[in-house]
């Protein structure tokens, strides 16, 4: 896979400017997700060419929805000031007389999450409509969600976010993932476990971080698991004026429950130091309180707090490992949290 730089960065001593193509193999595979999540890179094929023409999109949408398509628009993100500095995604807004829908190119795992898991309960997620298999990928269709993402948290949206997440976590709560995976959704834990084991090598030379991260690893194999979004950041949730809706389940699967909680809290600050997300400390405590109160299967509050702290350490070290910590914010916070954990 080839990538294009979307924000200035340095990789292995080489500086890249927005728009520069990054040579194949220049980025270690374990860094790709973090660089994409933080907006530093995009897939070159996504940035320069659509994967399907409008007629193909209309045909697929009609076959799934069963309604004539009036209009199609592709979801894009402006990553620079120039008109052509736009990243295009394989996600389309479909307009029909019956309403608006989202058509997304994905893989079989995300389709399975919507069709076999999230469709089971009354969860605040996009309403699944159907899917179509193409030669190179699966396409899924959901009802379009109107609203805004949650880069600016309020007390109200904080509580509603906890309500949304806790409903899903309680429904799919599993004491541990100690059995062989039965499908791709459960296989996600195996993939996750391999990844965090690799991540441990990035802190091997720091005795404090190494010991604290080992505490995190030790807990993962016995930590309760549940259906997890895998990328529960504030731009992957939409507030529609009534509920907080969790979108984009491409990284989802059965994983330790604390991961989504920690990811939602770890990168939001009052000063927007890491990501462009605002959330104050009182709102973080409110979120944790509401999450714990709503969980149907209780563990001790002490263990809950420890699980979230351990998962937060993993969040910080993820960005240290990915070398996306130019000002040292993640390393500083990882070291402070590691010392706190070792002194508990």
pLDDT at 85: 56
pLDDT at 121: 84
What class, spelled out in words, does domain 148-342 have in CATH? alpha beta
pLDDT at 304: 97
* DSSP annotation string for 213-269: HHHHHHHHTTS-EEEE-S---GGGEEE-SS-EEE---TT-EEEETHHHHHHHHHT-B
* Beta pairing partners, 245: 238
pLDDT at 84: 57
Beta strand extents in the chain (DSSP E only):
3-5, 9-11, 14-16, 21-22, 41-43, 69-78, 86-96, 99-106, 128-133, 138-143, 148-149, 225-228, 237-239, 244-246, 253-256
Q: Which residues of the chain have pLDDT under 50?
A: 45-51, 78-79
CATH dotted code for 50-143: 3.30.200.20
pLDDT at 10: 64
Distance of alpha carbon 23 from alpha carbon 2, whole angstroms:
7
pLDDT at 53: 80
* DSSP annotation string for 129-167: EEEEE-SS-EEEEEE---SEE-SB--HHHHHHHHHHHHH
Q: For 202-234, write each residue's pLDDT tens digit.
A: 999 999 999 999 999 999 999 999 999 999 999
pLDDT at 104: 94
**How much of the chain is helix, strand and coil, in % rounded to 5?**
45, 20, 35
Distance of alpha carbon 309 from alpha carbon 153, whole angstroms:
21
Q: In the 8-state DSSP scheme, what is residue 18?
A: T
Burial class of residue 212 (count of CB atoms within 10 Å of its CB; 0-12, 13-18, 19+): buried
Q: For 133-151, write each residue's pLDDT tens digit.
A: 887 788 999 999 999 999 9
pLDDT at 46: 38
pLDDT at 74: 87
Distance of alpha carbon 294 from alpha carbon 336, whole angstroms:
30
Distance of alpha carbon 232 from alpha carbon 242, whole angstroms:
19
Sorted by sequence, the CB contacts under 8 Å of residue 283 that are 6+ apart come out as 153, 154, 155, 158
- Does the pTM of the predicted model rise above 0.85? no
């Amino acid at each position: 896979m080839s990538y294009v730089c979307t924000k200035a960065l340095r990789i292995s001593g080489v500086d890249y400017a927005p728009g520069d193509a990054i040579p194949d193999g220049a980025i270690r595979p374990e860094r790709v997700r973090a660089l994409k999540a933080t907006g530093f890179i995009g897939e070159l094929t996504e940035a320069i060419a659509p994967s399907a023409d409008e007629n193909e999109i209309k045909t697929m949408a009609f076959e799934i929805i069963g309604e004539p398509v009036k209009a199609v628009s592709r979801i894009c993100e402006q990553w620079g000031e120039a008109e052509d500095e736009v990243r295009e995604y394989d996600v389309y807004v479909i307009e029909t007389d019956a309403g608006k829908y989202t058509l997304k190119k994905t893989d079989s795992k995300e389709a399975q999450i919507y069709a076999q898991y999230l469709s089971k309960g009354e969860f605040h997620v996009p309403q699944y409509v159907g899917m179509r298999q193409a030669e190179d990928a699966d396409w899924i269709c959901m009802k379009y969600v109107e609203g805004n993402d949650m880069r600016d948290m309020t007390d109200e949206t904080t509580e509603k976010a906890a309500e949304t997440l806790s409903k899903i976590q309680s429904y799919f709560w599993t004491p541990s993932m100690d059995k062989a995976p039965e499908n791709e959704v459960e296989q996600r834990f195996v993939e996750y476990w391999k990844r965090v084991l690799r991540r441990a090598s990035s802190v091997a030379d720091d005795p404090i971080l190494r010991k604290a991260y080992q505490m995190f690893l030790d807990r993962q194999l016995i930590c309760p698991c549940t259906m997890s979004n895998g990328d529960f950041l504030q731009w992957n949730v939409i507030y529609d004026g009534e509920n907080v809706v969790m979108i984009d389940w491409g990284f989802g699967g059965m994983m330790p429950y604390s991961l989504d909680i920690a990811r939602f809290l770890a990168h939001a600050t009052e000063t927007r130091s890491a990501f462009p997300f605002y959330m104050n400390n009182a709102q973080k405590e409110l979120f944790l309180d509401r999450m714990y109160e709503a969980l149907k299967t209780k563990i001790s509050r002490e263990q809950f707090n420890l699980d979230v702290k351990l998962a937060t350490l993993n969040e910080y070290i993820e960005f240290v490992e990915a070398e996306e910590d130019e000002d040292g914010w993640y390393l500083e916070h990882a070291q402070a949290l590691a010392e706190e954990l070792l002194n508990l």
